[in-house]
Amino acid sequence: MTLDVTQIPVLSDNYVYLLRDRDSAKTAVVDPAVAGPVLKLLNERDWQLDYILNTHHHGDHVGGNRELKAATGCCIVGPAADRDRIPLIDQAVGDGDTFSLGDSRAKIFDVPGHTRGHIAYWFENDDALFCGDTLFSMGCGRLFEGTPAQMLTSLGKLRRLPDDTRVYCAHEYTETNGNFALTVEPANPDLQRRMEEVRELRARNAPTVPSTLGVERRTNPFLRPDSPEIRQSVGLVNASDVDVFAEVRRRKDSY
């Protein structure tokens, strides 16, 4: 592993991630909602920002682009499918492409659903997934611009990654997500144990992110439309995975 990750809490519940390749000293920031905390940390560490990595166009993910670009001259990388909505984008990437931060290399996944042009960055050798608002700890993003089928396909790409993959999502939504998950799969022992951990962490204002993909496969209802208990809970025992997913997402939207 050559990638160091620093988590920066901003706004009310966002996480921005500062990435540093140890060997090359190349530095990137993922989804900078605001510029100030990023610039402060760069100054404290005497680091130069080389890249911004955007997952999608929402303001709480690209809001710092212009100020960071003006201050550092960094290259802005973002989704090719949504390049018209990424401020000052320099490098457009899409499904199957790779991005190199020095010796740390990320594979790009197109993961539409939350937005039409959402992408995720998977640094395979560092067990690190930066998935924006597609996959959350025990949750997934709202379907603002995509369909349930699109989102389930997108989550399926991420679901297949190794168990040890750390899930660096962009928001601290875990406790609420977990409370909802218990409404559709209350007898899941992995979910029960995870929620005990989450409540203890949040009681002392500690982050619950990153999770791991192994934990998510066992506890996240949006990765588990084949769960018999979830199907029974939502009254869709014999339905398709897409229909079960859509109903779970509908219930979460009004939770």
Q: List residues with catalytic annotation.
A: 56, 58, 60-61, 114, 133, 171
Q: Which of 66, 72, 114, 71 is nearest to 86 (CA)?
A: 66
* Residues with Cβ within 8 Å of residue 40, at least 6 apart in sequence: none
Instruction: For residues 24 and 134, give the distance between their C-alpha atoms in angstroms, rounded to a whole number.
Output: 30
Q: Could you tell me the strand order of the sheet in which 27-30 lies?
A: 3-10, 14-21, 27-30, 51-53, 75-79, 91-93
Determine the Cα–Cα distance for residues 196 and 200; give it in Å rounded to an integer: 6
In this structure, how many other beta carbons lie within 10 angstroms of the beta carbon of residue 2? 16
Q: Are 79 and 94 in contact (CB under 8 A)?
A: yes
